[in-house]
Structure 1
């Protein structure tokens, strides 16, 4: 998906790219907080 963006270009796909970045950020945050909570519980 990211390779497609760099080969074709991000014209018209800016909203999609922003959405992907947002989802990726939320996913990483969720994983990080889950890991921290798991470590604190032990």
Structure 2
């Protein structure tokens, strides 16, 4: 029962961490592209 409860809490937590990591990576990539584009424009 304890293992089931732990996995029930852990799975959404891991999924959340993965989502956050992906969001951060996307934000960094977008920021880098935008800054590069701005530099080239100027």
Query: What is the TM-score normalised by the length of structure 2?
Result: 0.71
Match status 1:19 vs 2:12: yes
Specify every segment of 5 or more residues in structure 2 that has no aligned partner in the other structure, as ranges: 36-42
> Following superposition, which runs of at least 4 residues in structure 1 exceed 6 angstroms of deviation?
none
Specify every segment of 5 or more residues in structure 1 that has no aligned partner in the other structure, as ranges: 1-9
Q: Write out per-residue CA displacement over residues 4-41 of structure 1, whole angstroms, 9 at most, x where no aligned residue.
A: xxxxxx61211110000000000000000000000000
Task: Report the number of matched residues.
Answer: 33
Instruction: Give the greater-gyration-radius structure (CA).
Output: 2
Query: What is the TM-score normalised by the length of structure 1?
Result: 0.71
